[in-house]
Amino acid sequence: MKLIVGLGNPGPRYAGTRHNVGFDVVDLLASRWGVGMQSEKFHAWFGLGETGGQRVALLKPTTYMNRSGQAVFAAGKFYKLELPDILVIVDDHALPLGRLRMRKDGSAGSHNGLQDIVDRLGSENWCRLRIGIGESVGDPKDYVLSRFEEPEEAVIRVARARAADAVECWIKNGPDLAMTKFNGDVVSDDAKDEKEA
């Protein structure tokens, strides 16, 4: 089994914010795979499904960003998962808008949600997929809770879809191929045209 975790904050106040891009990608995956996300389990919205013959669990923690590790730890323990079977999808305000960066391990940087997962799991050796939300303007706390401007929407829409593709590649082929194929700028010509229209 693989555990796919999208980070964000629950409730309509935070829907569509930059900080919730992880939630958005999990919702997209749930739609692709026909997985219901109405169950509440492990301090999260939760769904079970299958893709490419692989059983998958989708998780959106409801503990708010800074306590995301509580849900990841609980689900991982229940299913007796190895750390490499966990992939966390998260926003990154240090990356240009729409850029993806998958890693098999590494520090949390300045991201409190990732840091809480590191603390709860006692390890940095699990996969994370960062999605660039644009470099922060002003106070980073205010910036990540803001919504995408209209010109940015075309780019982030492509990024969400590419991130979902990267997750599917990770499940089927492992992190190395996913990193090779998806790390980098994701702004397609279509998105650029739509942005400039």
Pairing of strands 86-92, 127-132: parallel
Element (H, E) at 104: none
Judge whether 111 counts as a catalytic residue.
no
CA pseudo-torsion sign 39, 40, 45, 47:
negative
Q: How far apart are the first and last CA of the chain?
A: 43
Pairing of strands 39-41, 44-51: antiparallel
**Three-state SS for 69?**
helix
Instruction: Give the gyration radius of the chain's Cα atoms.
Output: 15
Contacts of 145 (CB under 8 A, 6+ apart): 14, 17, 18, 19
Quote the tokens at residue 61. 């923690």
List the catalytic residue out of 19, 43, 93, 111: 19
Of 113, 107, 101, give the one whose Cα is nearest residue 159. 101
Phi (first) and psi of residue 138, to 5 degrees: 75, -145
Catalytic residues: 19
